[in-house]
Amino acid sequence: MLRTQVLQACDTTCAFRASSVPRGAKTRKRRSAQGKMARLFQRPMSASVTDLTQLRVDYKHAALGERDAAPDPFDQFARWFDEAVAASLPEPNAMTLATVDATGRPAARIVLLKSVDARGLVFHTNYASRKGSEVDADPRVALLFFWAELERQVRIEGTAERVSAAESDAYFAARPRGSQISAWASPQSAPVPDRAWLEAQVAAVQARFASDVPRPGNWGGIRVVPRRFEFWQGRESRLHDRLVWTREGDHWTIGRLAP
Ligand SMILES: Cc1cc2nc3c(=O)[nH]c(=O)nc-3n(C[C@H](O)[C@H](O)[C@H](O)COP(=O)(O)O)c2cc1C
């Protein structure tokens, strides 16, 4: 709920002007309403007044058993990813990337999966951004896909490394010109004075590169090399399936976790 909506709710809930309400009751009611609003205001402003304990979905869509699981987690990932695409989910390649800074403090944000093969999962970004600096300082990262309509999540843990310059060049060259310009114009994660400043940067980059836009040196791909995958399939009554693939040398072993 937006702050203004909360305030409107307070206007109607907190104002007891009806003369039919006895004086003492009026005070008690006002105090109780004020207490209620105080509790509301203790919630984050983005939270709804909906009773969140009643928001629940019972998962019944599918199951994930050891016998159906692919021995290689990349094959399992390919199966589930193809199913997410076939189900026309919005941005099925959007994934949460979690990093830690040099002191171990975590941060997470969405990035887009742009390629995947037996080496790992690749996204592209600004190497000088917060995430870029964090993976330089500590390459241990986690990825998370959530495909709500399929009642699935995939958790991946591993290490981040930069892809080759040739791989970054190839992807950058395939991007629309506007995205290429923005990669030059935006010092990702750095404070900027205002939007007009950003738009001026864009105009300057457009003037600088009349035809082809080369890849900025600080922009490119990062590959997450997994050492652990977990595939989670929602099941009835919270008895979900959780299968985990852990890499040992060149082999993957599969285990099951309690939901
Ligand atoms: C759907 C979606 C896709 C995004 N894809 C990318 C991406 O592929 N690469 C990227 O650098 N940022 C992407 N972003 C923006 C990041 O979430 C983030 O705001 C940005 O990378 C700066 O993060 P940082 O300051 O932690 O480095 C995406 C955001 C959303 C919501």
pLDDT of residue 45: 52
b/e sequence 53-90, b meaning 16+ C-beta within 10 Å: eeeeeebeeeebeeeebbeebbebbeebbeebeeeebe
Tokens of 182: 């923005």
Q: How far apart are CA 150 and CA 5, in angstroms?
A: 33
Annotated catalytic, 238? yes
What is the Å distance from ligand 1's center to 178 Cα?
16
pLDDT over 80 (residue 253):
yes
Minimum CA distance residue for ligand 1 atom 4: 111
pLDDT tens track for 119-173: 999 999 999 999 999 999 999 999 999 999 999 999 999 999 999 999 999 999 9
Tokens of 197: 């400043």
Q: What is the mean pLDDT of residues 86-113?
A: 97
pLDDT tens track for 8-51: 332 223 332 333 333 444 444 444 444 444 443 455 555 567 88
- Burial zone of 218 (CB within 10 Å; 0-12 exposed, 13-18 middle, 19+ buried): middle
Tell me which of 91, 99, 101, 111 to substitute to probe ligand 1's pocket, judged by most ligand atoms within 8 Å of the beta carbon.
111
Tell how strand 115-117 and strand 152-162 pair up: unpaired
What is the Å distance from ligand 1's center to 16 Cα?
47
Identify each DSSP E strand in the chain by its residue range.
94-100, 106-112, 115-117, 120-126, 140-147, 152-162, 219-233, 241-248, 251-256
